[in-house]
Amino acid sequence: MSTAGWYPDPAGNSNLQRYWDGEGWTTQVRPSGTPKRRRAPLLAGLAAVVVLAVAGVVGTVLTRTPQTQSAGSVGSAPFGWYTDPPAYCREGAPSHRNSYPNDGWLHGGGLTTRTPAEWRPGNAPRLPLASDVLIAETPGATIALGALRIGDVFDGASESLAAVETCLRAPNELLKGAPAPTGPAYPVKVPGATSALRRDYQLQGANAGAVSILIVDTGAPESLGLAITVTTGGDDRGPAATELALAELRAG
């Protein structure tokens, strides 16, 4: 999440928004409740910042204002572990699968990709914030695909990315380490998709490695696509697997 502005409080306070300064959460909060426009293009969450200068007062207005999340206690903590993630982190239906062809490719959340080697299915509940989840294990890498149901939390690029980051900063079976961003989020092209937003991370802790998270507008009216790639363990085959999975990722 690179754009400074007001977002759902990651501490989960139900009636507050917290200010993100472009690098981290601050201690500034305000009441939530500003209506937001639904289903504008994902990239509207990145750009569209209007600077108003009236009588020497400069204000920044985001075109999308996210709503609230649920309980927790994080404050302005830096990236790293915390133990009380919002309830939405557990409210997906990861084992509910749509129908896909049995063609050896990876399918989930309206997304398709592949790996350079054989893969085995992982445990879908390792990504409990999403639905229609496929987790593929291949030497040195894990690739996860799923769908985020559009609603108060998952609605737009920056909002959805921040929400996924929040979930993955709590102890989880997918990363088994703390993700620290290596730079701001940036738009990428995914064939068949309206738009997509990606952010990369270093995985800290005993299982050091790299993580990428993509939020993809697949054109589905009720959901956004989610793709996560993870490399750990120092296996040289891992980076090649995730690079191919990201290069071959497409909607459909």
177-222 pLDDT, tens digit per residue, is 788 999 999 999 999 999 999 999 998 876 789 999 999 999 999 9
DSSP H or E segment with residue 164: helix 157-168
The domain limits of the chain are: 1-33, 87-251
pLDDT level of residue 34 (50, 70, 90 thresholds): very low
DSSP sequence for 144-160: EEEEEE-SSSS-SHHHH
Q: Class for domain 87-251, per CATH?
A: alpha beta
Q: What is the pTM of this model?
A: 0.71
3-class DSSP state for residue 43?
helix
83-94 pLDDT, tens digit per residue, is 778 888 999 999
